[in-house]
A and B are shown apart, each in its own frame.
Chain A
């Protein structure tokens, strides 16, 4: 890869690390650029994201990591004046193409937000909203989805007897796990997480982190975090972003232990940011 294409999550197969995921790529980003009005938020980012692995984006506030994440399910389309160029290949399709329907894309690429954002309805209805939108109506089927996703998000035991309670009555950590269950209910291939623990206490955070480790067995997880320890704990690959550029991208352990760029080193050793 040439320099202009930016760093790639590549290394010789003989680099000595364990094989992660199934070796395939879920997403292939090429020269992605994002402009908000006159702000150039993402500059020429190219990277390949592995299937069934957890990839983390780290970097100081305002570096563009959340914006990059929101490209992956076209949530930036909802922001007025936001323009994205480049290509992001997913299952043989450039999802940035005009012909792609973001609504259809989001069936396959789910998202969990920074602050838990359950709908102000019951726990049950929070989860069934997605499947219902996609045409699932049968009560049995919906019940099954609710149970399965709540189990997958490690919330089932805590809420199984009060599924009709308002979602807002749950604790912050429980709300966030409900949001994860809600995202799982539409059966996505990829789950995007935008600083999913930043509004949670350490115990809740640890539960979510365990969950991410489990989820990546079956899903491709992309997580944005400003917490480097968290990136180190949960991710297989890490991309360090600064001022809209992807400075360095690679397997998590070597990136933290032996960063190739001085900028990365400065950031992870806490000398700026």
Chain B
């Protein structure tokens, strides 16, 4: 049934169940996608879908500066912690 990457529809569908843990992981400061991936044990690719979905609906927002490795950091967005 499954080879390699998961279906995008499946990844996106699951975003709501990860909102709280992603926000919680950001309480001690903004994090990049790979930092979140290392902390939470999910793949960076799936986290991009979740982070961008959360960003779109105000749960997260990006910090202005890019890290030396070329990543942005994200923090809890205007909608506040859930």
Is B a genuine binding partner of A?
no
